[in-house]
Amino acid sequence: MKSFALGKSTSNAEVQNVSKDGVWLIIRDQEYFLPFTDYPWFKDATIASIYNVETMHGTQLHWPDLDVDLELNSLQNPHQYPLVYR
């Protein structure tokens, strides 16, 4: 029996790792680290819900299980987004 080739990825975003300090993402061959101190929504989330990430409109990341949305630009240019959740 021969396996079929894998299909194309339907998302430009992929969670690479969840560590004790945060979440590692790969988006269009670029790596980002989301520390729990800056992104507290992920700290107590299940691994499955963190890995369930979608891209919307090519510029937005969406975690449907967590009701979290992030603009890709906020990861690429954090200095333009000085307000931080506390």
What does the pLDDT profile of the chain (86 residues) look like in tens digits? 565 555 454 568 999 999 999 999 999 889 999 999 999 999 999 999 999 999 998 899 999 999 999 999 999 998 888 776 55
Q: How far apart are alpha carbons 31 and 76 in whole angstroms? A: 10
| C-alpha count within 13 angstroms, C-beta hemisphere, residue 55 | 16
pTM, 2 dp: 0.79
Residue 32 lies in a domain: yes
Residue 5 lies in a domain: no
| 6 in a structural domain | no
HSE value, Cβ hemisphere, 13 Å, CA-based, for 22: 11
Provide the number of structural domains found in the chain.
1
Question: Angle 11-56-85 (CA atoms, 0-180°, nearest 5)?
Answer: 110
The answer to whether position 45 is within a domain reads: yes
DSSP three-state, residue 18 = strand
Pair type for strands 22-27 and 13-18: antiparallel
Give residue 26's domain range.
13-80
Beta bridge partners, 6, equal none
pLDDT value at residue 4: 57
* Single-letter amino acid code for the residue at 84: V
Q: Is residue 72 part of a domain?
A: yes
